[in-house]
């Protein structure tokens, strides 16, 4: 006899999946089943570099104890990857062949590290960082290493670099672009930031790209496209992410980079929703927590039968490196002829501020070296605050 369909099924236990589960639990809308391929309950991915550095324990990485899910009415299926989805039948299939039917489904399958085609990437000592298992592997392997090279000068790459530096390794970061954090910083701000990173004892090479990873079984170094060689025993590839949209694509859902969703987070299939890194809204996917939280809340409300609409979140990022306060919000690199750019730069003090005005509104900003000012700027940018040039100059201050 076939069992009754599960009320709410969520695939993925990252921030989007767990947030949606808790939103549904709060509404007491029905039973909630959450499936994940990972062996662990939900943990904070942004804390993984601090765990690698040895600054927090493994226990501190987790958001809640296992009993908490039972109390919240969320049944978590660990070590249970979902390999097939049949939208018409409303059925999902696990890797061991079990079938579960559902009334409402949320795809919160997240993303995975992007692996550029680099010779030698299969060698022992090459890692990516996405999961707790990755963090454990990097932490353990680093104990036998003296030098590390990070391929990618984005937020994650820099946080990993700092973690390995704390562990006593000599660390070099390779950024293929002209400067660090090209999405979050402009040229002037990046110069100030670059100096702060190097003051921490981390070497940074801009406009530098690995041609191959050297070694015979184990990593011995990296050769750059310009021929330079860097010795290393540990490599971390932090070259971006790719959506885990294969399950949806194979099921016939509309996928364009990510799973296409509307303002209710509904996909092209009835009663199936998507949120977080895997969702594509108006042609855009964002791998940042504020977007995942907002989309998950809307998805949960929609699954519960409520009227809810997602409004695009202004992207913002804060770097989690001890000793450096960096906040970037909104559009920071609009063309000079399309916006007004106001700057305050004091490189010797590690201070940089930038405001971007467009059509009389504050649409972007950068703050380095002043956490309080950065928080104020971030809120004003998220609200797209109307502002005059004179008001912006006053806000920018003089340090």
What does the pLDDT read at residue 323? 73
> Is 387 part of any domain?
yes
Neighbouring residues of 84: CB distance < 8 A, sequence distance ≥ 6: 92, 93, 247, 250, 251
Task: Give residue-wise pLDDT tens across range 182-224.
Answer: 889 999 999 999 999 999 999 999 999 999 999 999 999 999 9
Higher pLDDT, 322 or 105: 105
Kindly tell me the burial class for residue 302, based on how many C-beta atoms sit within 10 Å of its own C-beta (0-12, 13-18, 19 or more): buried
Residues 164 and 123 in one domain: yes
What does the pLDDT read at residue 321? 73
Residues 105 and 160 in one domain: no
Angle in degrees, CA 202, 321, 192, rounded to 5: 65
> Is 99 part of any domain?
yes
> Is 79 part of any domain?
yes
> Is 315 part of any domain?
no
Residues 93 and 120 in one domain: no
> Is 187 part of any domain?
yes
Domain hosting residue 249, numbered range:
6-112+241-303
> Is 127 part of any domain?
yes
Place of tokens 């956490």: 371
Domain boundary, last residue among 204, 237, 270: 237
What CATH number does the domain containing 349 carry? 3.30.390.30
What does the pLDDT read at residue 318? 78
- Structure confidence at residue 399 as a pLDDT band (50, 70, 90): very low
Neighbouring residues of 117: CB distance < 8 A, sequence distance ≥ 6: none
**How many domains does the chain divide into?**
3
Residues 125 and 52 in one domain: no
Task: Give residue-wise pLDDT tens across range 241-296.
Answer: 999 999 999 999 999 999 999 999 999 999 999 999 999 999 999 888 999 999 99
Domain boundary, last residue among 237, 260, 294: 237
Task: Give residue-wise pLDDT tens across range 84-134.
Answer: 999 999 999 999 999 999 999 999 999 999 999 999 999 999 999 999 999
Angle between helices 15-27 and 289-303 (to 10 degrees): 40
Residues 120 and 108 in one domain: no
Residues 123 and 233 in one domain: yes
Domain boundary, last residue among 210, 237, 264: 237
Averaged pLDDT for residues 169-194: 94
Residues 124 and 100 in one domain: no
Residues 233 and 268 in one domain: no
Give the residue from 42, 30, 18, 17 showing the smallest Cα distance to 73. 30
> Is 134 part of any domain?
yes
Residues 80 and 154 in one domain: no
Residues 162 and 176 in one domain: yes
Residues 227 and 274 in one domain: no
Report whether pLDDT(1) > 60: no
Q: How far apart are CA 71 and CA 69, in angstroms?
A: 5
What CATH number does the domain containing 265 carry? 3.50.50.60
Q: Which pTM does this prediction carry?
A: 0.91
> Is 179 part of any domain?
yes
Residues 282 and 232 in one domain: no
Give the residue from 35, 198, 33, 24 showing the smallest Cα distance to 110. 35
């Amino acid at each position: 006899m076939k069992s009754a369909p599960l009320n709410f099924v969520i695939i993925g236990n990252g921030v989007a999946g767990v947030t949606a589960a808790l939103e549904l639990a709060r509404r007491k809308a029905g039973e909630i089943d959450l499936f994940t391929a990972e062996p662990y309950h939900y943990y904070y991915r942004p804390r993984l570099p601090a765990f690698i550095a040895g600054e927090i324990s493994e226990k501190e990485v987790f958001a809640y104890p296992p009993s908490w899910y039972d109390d919240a009415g969320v049944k978590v299926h660990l070590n249970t990857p979902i390999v097939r989805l049949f939208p018409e039948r409303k059925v999902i299939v696990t890797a061991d062949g079990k079938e579960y039917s559902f009334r409402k489904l949320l795809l919160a399958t997240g993303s995975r590290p992007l692996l550029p085609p680099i010779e030698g990437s299969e060698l022992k000592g090459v890692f990516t960082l996405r999961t707790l298992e990755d963090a454990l592997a990097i932490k353990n392997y680093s104990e036998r290493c003296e030098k590390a090279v990070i391929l990618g000068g984005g937020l994650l790459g820099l946080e990993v670099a700092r973690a390995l530096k704390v562990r006593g390794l000599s660390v070099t970061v390779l950024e293929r672009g002209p400067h660090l954090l090209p999405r979050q910083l402009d040229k002037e701000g990046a110069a100030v930031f670059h100096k702060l990173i190097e003051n921490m004892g981390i070497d940074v090479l801009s406009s530098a790209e690995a041609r191959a990873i050297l070694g015979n079984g184990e990593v011995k170094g990296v050769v750059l496209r310009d021929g330079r060689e860097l010795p290393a025993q540990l490599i971390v590839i932090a070259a971006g992410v790719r959506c885990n949209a294969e399950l949806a694509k194979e099921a016939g859902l509309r996928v364009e980079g990510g799973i296409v969703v509307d303002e209710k987070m509904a996909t092209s299939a009835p009663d199936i929703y998507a949120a977080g890194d895997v969702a594509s809204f108006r042609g855009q996917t964002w791998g940042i927590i504020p977007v995942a939280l907002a989309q998950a809340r809307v998805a949960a409300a929609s699954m519960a039968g409520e009227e809810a609409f997602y409004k695009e979140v202004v992207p913002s990022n804060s770097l989690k490196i001890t000793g450096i306060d960096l906040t970037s919000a909104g559009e920071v690199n609009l063309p000079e002829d399309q916006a007004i750019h106001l700057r305050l730069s004091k490189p010797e003090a590690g201070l940089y501020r930038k405001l971007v005005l467009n059509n009389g509104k504050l649409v972007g900003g950068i703050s380095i070296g002043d956490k309080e000012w950065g928080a104020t700027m971030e809120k004003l940018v998220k609200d797209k605050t109307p502002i005059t040039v004179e008001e912006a100059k006053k806000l920018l201050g003089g340090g």
